[in-house]
A and B are shown apart, each in its own frame.
Chain A
Amino acid sequence: MNGLFSPRMLRSLLPPLSLAVLLIAIFYLQPRTMSYFGLNLLLNLAIPIALATIAQMFVLCVNELDLSIGGFVSLVACITATWLYDTPLLGIAALIGLVAVYAALGALIHLRNLPSIVVTLGMSFVWLGLAVLVLPTPGGKAPEYIRTLMTLKPPGIPFPIIASVVIAIVVHILLMRSAWGTVLRGAGGNPRSLERAGWSLLRIKMIMFALAGFFGVLSGMALVGLTTSADANIALRYTLLSIAGVILGGGEFVGGRVSPIGAVIGAVTLALAGSFLSFLRLNPDWQIGAQGAILIIVLALRILISRTEAKR
């Protein structure tokens, strides 16, 4: 067989193919979505999900798991809608501080050899508590420039598509194409040999967690730009969505095997899956289950492909 049908190729084609199938199904069910306006509405809420998924991807890349990203994005949303709007300097300082806390978490997990699931699960309550302190009742206001950016209507191609492509390519170059990126990924793939080669694993973990924090901040800001105001519980479901997005996009839980382009595609697929089920007029009681079924089907396909790969 030639390259096109090799398992490796199929494996990397699976995420975009799933997305294409879903998109075609949606266009068929609801032809209105096949327009500039329709794609905009269909995809704009996928931007913050894609950013949160990228954040999760950085953590997964070093064999850790972040269960606090939903609470973190909520907190960023609350800070963006209050401090960043009223006193921009304080807001920026707080957001930079949050990224630093994320880096410190990476250091803590590495130095004390703690399970990241426990640390981040604990932090999720801290983030939520802080979010309630910053914004006790839903409210606040999105800074004008963020609102303008998120409601941009560029000619020809809807903004959410441009944003997704830019996010995917920038992170792809950073993580997959640069020398630094290779080292960062190596920390997940083979930490011991990396350490023997003289790299500091501590620094790498801190950098990866800081990157996760940074993209978490972008996600929260993008979300507020879309919703115009915040709520302490606004993004709690992003935790599971982001993990599912990375895996759906071809990432693995261990081994530093991730794909930024796949992660963005995975996030968009998950966001579209919700719309697809709603266009199907499926009973809401079944929707979570159906969303899970879509996930299982895609993952099952991938395992099938991996098996063929292993047989050779």
Chain B
Amino acid sequence: MKTITTLGMVTAVALSGMTVSAIADTSDKRIALSNNYAGNSWRQAMLGSWEKVTGEAVENGTVAAADAFTTAENQVTEQAAQIQNLILQGYDAIVVNAASPEGLNGAVKEACDAGVVVVSFDGIVTEPCAWRIAVDFKQMGKDEVLYLSDKLSEGGNLLEIRGLAGVFVDDEISAGIHEGVAETGKFEIVGSVHGNWAQDVSQKAVAGILPSLPDDIVGVVTQGGDGYGAAQAFKAAGRDIPVIVMGNRHDELSWWKEQKDASGYETMSVSIAPGVSTLAFWVAQQILDGADVPKDLTVPFLRIDQDNLEDNLANTEEGGVANVEYTLEDAQAVISGAS
């Protein structure tokens, strides 16, 4: 294990042409996770991954401690106080999933001034002294259209299922989808509904719009959590089921598996793995290690394709979402990719 780690580190350094060698010892360093909310399956999986990966890291002596703290009320001032408490508890780095991109900046600044490394992910903070591991939602939307463009070379009509209106994630993914449609130039979005990232809402919304749509819909672009509901709506309407892009939820993946076995149905699935918390952990470890890490990093998507569907489905809990835990090498790849 140790040799692999070292090897990975050397490759990463060589690849990126970094000048600073990062072999400082982090075995006496303590890292804390400041999390604002734990009330859904994604966040539970996120905390589970953190516990698993950092538990091993502590056991192997990579770091001295990696404790997770969650605020009880998901409130900005509460998390600000929590971060200030973590500074006082003497942590060397704080990994943050923030309740607000701006509201914690004062506390984050205090941490930086006290020499604490702050790495934010998922819910990022804008304070310049912190590191950010952000999700490129726009690219995610665009990737869906690019996949469809490869698969359906003649193009055609698309149905778009959007998320929760007014949330920036919804705007970003949708903007990416529309950009992809404009670039590839062979698709037309004939209908758009809001599915609120939930199967039941999506099913109702799609069932409602289907009668007004042309018969030849070739693809459905989605945002995750809505693919299964869309499939059920198409089935209930007695229509041919188009290529529905999935969002890594268990019900979506198991439906896809059924269709694949029955009729060779093909699609892809993409979302963000809750294990991104472990990526943030390794990035923090690398910064403590003295590595030269750019302030803005991008989370890789967890994409499931036809050939790795079974593996991912087997690893996904019922009612949960496909997950992946990141390793030190993954973090180094992300870092070298950004620099």
Contacts and interface: CB of A to CB of B under 8 A. Distances in A.
A233 B76 contact: yes
Contacts of B67: 281
A139 B127 CA distance: 11
Nearest to B110: A41
Contact of B76 (A32, A33, A227, A285): A227
B139 interface: no
A229 B102 contact: yes
Interface in B120-146: 126-127
Contacts of B90: 32
A172 to B, nearest CB: 26
B84 A231 contact: no
B69 A284 contact: yes
Nearest to A286: B72
A140 B102 contact: yes
Contacts of B126: 139, 229
B65 to A, nearest CB: 11
B164 to A, nearest CB: 15
Nearest to A241: B77
Contacts of A236: 75
A307 to B, nearest CB: 33
Contacts, number: 97
B107 interface: yes
Given A32-B90, A284-B69, A138 B103 contact: yes
Given A42-B88, A230-B103, A274 B81 contact: yes
B192 interface: no
Contact of A42 (B76, B84, B103): B84
Contact of B103 (A33, A37, A44, A229): A229
A231 B100 contact: yes
Contact of A41 (B73, B88, B100): B88
Contacts of B276: none
A306 to B, nearest CB: 31
B301 to A, nearest CB: 24
Contacts of A137: 168
B88 A228 contact: no
Contacts of A227: 76-77, 80, 102-107
A274 B105 CA distance: 20
A12 interface: no
A278 B72 contact: no
Contacts of A180: none
Given A32-B90, A228-B105, A45 B84 contact: yes
B171 to A, nearest CB: 11
B100 A233 contact: yes
A246 interface: no
B89 A229 contact: no
Interface string B232-251: 00000000000000000000
A32 B106 CA distance: 20
A139 B81 contact: no
A284 B70 contact: yes
B102 A237 contact: no
Interface in B64-101: 67, 69-73, 75-78, 80-82, 84-85, 87-90, 100-101
> At the interface, is chain A mostly helix, strand, loop or mixed?
helix
Given A139-B102, A275-B85, A279-B85, A223 B77 contact: yes
B22 interface: no
B181 to A, nearest CB: 26
Contacts of A44: 84
A41 B102 contact: no
A230 B69 contact: no
A183 to B, nearest CB: 35
Given A140-B102, A275-B81, A288 B88 contact: no
A237 B75 contact: yes
Contacts of A6: none
A30 interface: yes
Given A227-B104, A287-B72, A279 B81 contact: no
A231 B103 contact: yes
A310 to B, nearest CB: 37
Interface string A275-304: 100110100110110000000000000000
Interface string B144-173: 000000000000000000000000100000
Q: Which of A41, A48, A140: most chain B Cβ within 10 A? A: A41
Interface in A20-54: 30, 32-33, 37-38, 41-42, 44-45, 48
Contacts of A204: none
A251 B7 CA distance: 65
A38 to B, nearest CB: 6
Given A231-B100, A285-B72, A279 B87 contact: no
Given A223-B77, A278-B85, A279-B89, A138 B72 contact: no
Nearest to B101: A138
Nearest to B107: A227
A271 interface: yes
A281 B105 CA distance: 24
Interface of A: 30, 32-33, 37-38, 41-42, 44-45, 48, 137-140, 223, 226-231, 233-238, 271, 274-275, 278-279, 281, 284-285, 287-288
6 contacts: A41-B85, A228-B102, A234-B77, A236-B75, A275-B81, A285-B72
